[in-house]
Amino acid sequence: MKIISVTLLIAAVSLTGLSAAQINGKLFQPRPKLKPTQPMPRPLPGGGPQFGDALPGLGATQLASFSAGRTEFEAIETPAGGLGPIFNGKSCVECHSAGATGGASTITVTRFGRLVDGKFDPLDHLGGSLLQRFAIDPQALERVPVQANVVAQRLATPLFGAGLIEAIPDADILLAAQRPQPDGIHGRAAQVDDVASGKSRVGRFGWKAQQATLLSFAGDAYLNEMGVTSRLFPTENAPNGNQALLAKFDLIPGIEDAVDPATGTSDIDHAADFMRLLAPPPPLRQSVSAAAGGRLFQQMQCAACHTPTLFTGANPLTALAHQPVNLFSDLLLHNMGALGDRIAQGTASGAEMRTAPLWGLRARKTFLHDGRAKTVAEAVRAHDGEGAASRTRFNALRAAEQQQVLDFLASI
């Protein structure tokens, strides 16, 4: 029985994979084709949701949560409201704005650690592995400690369709990890402790698939990017681990993101609501070139990791229940060889990275975990490790065929 259901799932996944292009083409109104640097299209009358819109089919209460959540996501924190003592940004939108509120950006944050005999030490006691670049007082400023011998940048990722990604059942991601793959590709699910639910879950958010839920990521971001403590992350970061400096500059003792006794919720919940209800990136109608590029994408085995479609499971929210998610990722960790950032995090080793979802790429200007790639083609050429074989196939394509692949990637 188990074997049969596995086979069926594989069949379903590969079928939808092959037809994702057509599905995209039929579900959405024709829109003009864009170059990645052009502004996003304005919503067409009768068209589907655009970048930054809410999921389709939400009721009035959910739309109200979406707007209230967006207000929180855009709110600028101040020291009096809990910002700092050390931080990387003053609002979520500061780093998540490309295309619309909730997008990526070209902003990176710094991670550091110490690698000795192949073992990674995040230098927790020195404020690692995440550097906070700013402080409410110059005395509290963090620096990359001299002990660090690994320093890596991490690019802000987009949140469009994040609720759909959250709603993909753990079991489906685990099953995908068992699917036989070509080219020695072997993805691994990131099993993480989810702070919000207190459960062991399959991680799916972040470059290392280090978080499983949006509420946990929101709490993590409020603390680690803005220095705002919450019920989920109550412990303030000490500047480079220095408790005396923390005591001196932590203006608000205790939890800063106060829970409203009437609702039991706080800013982290509102930010999570906003991200959960954000519509996925709107696919464009595919040109002949893009459709040809989609076939090449399959032939080069890009889809062995960049799975075109996964599905959400049962969900209390109808808009998130049993939906296709055309994210172009298996959400698994892969050994990417020299492309890895050498930072071990959660269950991911230094070389392991989460397959980056490829939907909505056209809203962005920089690519890969550290933003080193200024074009999509450069990002493909940097694939290594398990991705080396498909990179070699991409490099071997004629220039016109490479353009078809890029046209495809700009349409999803």
83 close to 226: Cβ distance less than 8 angstroms? yes
Is residue 334 within the footprint of ligand HEC (CB under 6 A)?
yes
| Residue 249 or 328 with smaller CB distance to ligand HEC | 328
| Residue 92 or 176 with smaller CB distance to ligand HEC | 92
| Residue 45 or 224 with smaller CB distance to ligand HEC | 224
Determine which residue in the list 131, 168, 300, 363 makes contact with ligand HEC, applying CB under 6 A.
300
Q: Pick the piece of the chain touching ligand HEC (CB under 6 A) from 12-20, 251-259, 277-285, 372-380.
A: 372-380
**How far is Cα of residue 220 from the mean position of the Cα atoms in its chain?**
14
- Please report, to the nearest 10 degrees, the dihedral formed by the alpha carbons of residues 158, 388, 410, 104 taken in order: 10
Among all chains, which residue has been given the structure tokens 């099953």?
Answer: 175
Structure tokens at 111: 């991670």
Q: Output the smallest distance, CB 382 to ligand HEC, in A.
A: 8
Determine which residue in the list 192, 245, 344, 380 makes contact with ligand HEC, applying CB under 6 A.
380
Is residue 112 within the footprint of ligand HEC (CB under 6 A)?
no
Is residue 21 within the footprint of ligand HEC (CB under 6 A)?
no
Q: Pick the piece of the chain touching ligand HEC (CB under 6 A) from 78-86, 281-289, 318-326, 348-356.
A: 348-356
Name which of residues 138 to 177 contact ligand HEC (CB under 6 A).
154-157, 159, 162
The beta-carbon contacts of 373-376 under 8 Å, at least 24 apart in sequence, are 376/36, 376/406, 376/409, 376/410
Is residue 266 within the footprint of ligand HEC (CB under 6 A)?
no
How close are the terminal C-alpha atoms of the chain, in Å? 35
Structure tokens at 287: 């040109």
| Residue 87 or 249 with smaller CB distance to ligand HEC | 87
161 close to 179: Cβ distance less than 8 angstroms? no
Name which of residues 222 to 241 contact ligand HEC (CB under 6 A).
222, 225-226
| Residue 44 or 177 with smaller CB distance to ligand HEC | 177
Measure the CA–CA gap between 301 and 202, rounded to whole angstroms.
24
- Please report, to the nearest 10 degrees, the dihedral formed by the alpha carbons of residues 309, 314, 317, 319 taken in order: 30
Determine which residue in the list 164, 212, 255, 275 makes contact with ligand HEC, applying CB under 6 A.
275
Structure tokens at 318: 């109808």
| Residue 98 or 245 with smaller CB distance to ligand HEC | 98
Q: Pick the piece of the chain touching ligand HEC (CB under 6 A) from 92-100, 169-177, 233-241, 252-260.
A: 92-100
| Residue 286 or 355 with smaller CB distance to ligand HEC | 355
Distances (CA, A) of 2 to 6, 188, 311: 6, 20, 19
Residues ≥6 apart with Cβ < 8 Å to 396: none
Is residue 281 within the footprint of ligand HEC (CB under 6 A)?
no
Residue 107, φ and ψ in degrees, nearest 5: -80, 135
Determine which residue in the list 84, 89, 127, 280 makes contact with ligand HEC, applying CB under 6 A.
89
Residue 29, φ and ψ in degrees, nearest 5: -65, 145
Is the omega angle on the peptide bond into residue 129 within 30 degrees of 0, that is, cis?
yes
Residues ≥6 apart with Cβ < 8 Å to 294: 20, 21, 286, 408
| Residue 98 or 302 with smaller CB distance to ligand HEC | 302
| Residue 179 or 369 with smaller CB distance to ligand HEC | 369
Least Cα distance to 94 among 79, 106, 112, 80 occurs for: 106
Is residue 218 within the footprint of ligand HEC (CB under 6 A)?
yes
Binding site residues, ligand HEC, CB under 6 A: 88-89, 92, 94-96, 107, 109, 154-157, 159, 162, 185, 205-208, 214, 217-218, 221-222, 225-226, 271, 275, 297, 300-302, 304-306, 334, 336, 339, 353, 355-356, 358, 367-369, 376, 379-380, 383, 386-387, 390-391, 394, 405, 409
